[in-house]
Amino acid sequence: MDYQFRSGRIPLLVSMPHVGTDIPDAIAVRMTPAAMRRADTDWHLVQLYDFLEDLGASSISARWSRYVIDLNRPPEDTNLYPGLDTTGLCPLDTFHREPLYQSGQAPDTADVRERLERFWRPYHNALRQELQRLLDLHGRVVLWDAHSIASVVPRFFEGKLPDLNFGTAEGKSCAAELQAAVVDVARRQDRYSLAVNGRFKGGHITRVYGQPQANVHAIQLEMCQSTYMDEQAPFAYRPDLAGQVQPLLRQLLQAAADWAQRR
């Protein structure tokens, strides 16, 4: 299977497009040792969000590494942040500009096209189908796009990133009331810093599937990995840290679900 999926009972779907670590052998042999470290993975999010089944939410998480193909990039590979640096649909380097491919082994147009069909489309087809199922059942649905990143990545931002980064495409991907309901929960605590539509405004999934006029509301959360894990290899999960942030995560998701079910 190209992804892990669980169907829930409430109008909330959590997507984790960057948690995958698998790289097909035919691609791996063309890659560098830096690629094999998979440093830019959204590590351990499935474990961090282990309360989703109890909450009743649907979830989908990637199997394949973002180095194979990035499920949160447009299929035409346009830049989500014009004028700013970012990695592409089939990345050629890591967040720290280390080459992912051996000399002469970078994917060509045919490779990209094949990866789109083999890895990208199945995930998006499943995402779309579950959103439609939940919409048909409930009349309104929230898509929560879950991400994490190292707290310091000079390539993309200066200094340390806020701990919690909410993105709603500048308010276009969800109702203002949903954004307020979620962000208000985050602002009622003082352990974690936060930003709304700052450096991360939501990627392809948030921007494309978030259609509030059609009762599909999307919000992205990009978390600093320092809130729940070691940011250096081997990127260990830290139960002591995770145990502190998980109750807040659950409150955030519960706020989104409560809003979706409100009439």
Q: Which residues pair with 216 in a beta bridge?
A: 141, 211
Q: pLDDT, tens digit, for every residue of 6-23?
A: 999 999 999 999 999 999
Residues 6+ apart with CB under 8 A from 80: 73, 74, 86, 203, 204, 207
Q: pLDDT, tens digit, for every residue of 16-53?
A: 999 999 999 999 999 999 999 999 999 999 999 999 99
pLDDT of residue 127: 98
pLDDT of residue 81: 76
Please check the confidence at residue 263 and state whether its pLDDT lies above 70.
no
From residue 47, give the alpha-carbon distance in Å to each of 14, 102, 208, 237, 242.
13, 33, 27, 9, 9
- Taking the C-alpha atoms of residue 197 and residue 220, their distance in angstroms, rounded to an integer, is 10
- Taking the C-alpha atoms of residue 230 and residue 117, their distance in angstroms, rounded to an integer, is 34
pLDDT, mean over the chain: 96
pLDDT of residue 22: 98
Q: pLDDT, tens digit, for every residue of 240-251?
A: 999 999 999 999
Question: For every residue of the chain, which 3-state class applies, written as one string?
Answer: CCEEEECCCCCEEEEECCCCCECCHHHHCCECHHHHHCCCCCCCHHHHCCCHHHHCCEEEEECECCCCCCCCCCCCCCCCCCCCCCCCCCCCECCCCCECECCCCCCCHHHHHHHHHHHHHHHHHHHHHHHHHHHHHHCCEEEEEEEEECCCCCCCCCCCCCCEEEECCCCCCCCHHHHHHHHHHHHCCCCCCEEECCCCCCCHHHHHHCEHHHCEEEEEEEEEHHHCECCCCCCCECHHHHHHHHHHHHHHHHHHHHHHHCC
Please check the confidence at residue 194 and state whether its pLDDT lies above 70.
yes
Q: pLDDT, tens digit, for every residue of 89-142?
A: 999 999 999 999 999 999 999 999 999 999 999 999 999 999 999 999 999 999
Cis preceding-peptide flag for 234 (omega within 30 of 0) = yes
- Taking the C-alpha atoms of residue 238 and residue 230, their distance in angstroms, rounded to an integer, is 7
Domain that holds residue 132: 3-261
Q: How many domains does the chain have?
A: 1
Q: Which residues pair with 58 in a beta bridge?
A: 13
- Taking the C-alpha atoms of residue 27 and residue 54, their distance in angstroms, rounded to an integer, is 37
pTM of the entire predicted model:
0.96
Q: pLDDT, tens digit, for every residue of 61-84?
A: 999 999 999 999 999 978 777 777
Question: What CATH number is associated with residue 79?
Answer: 3.40.630.40
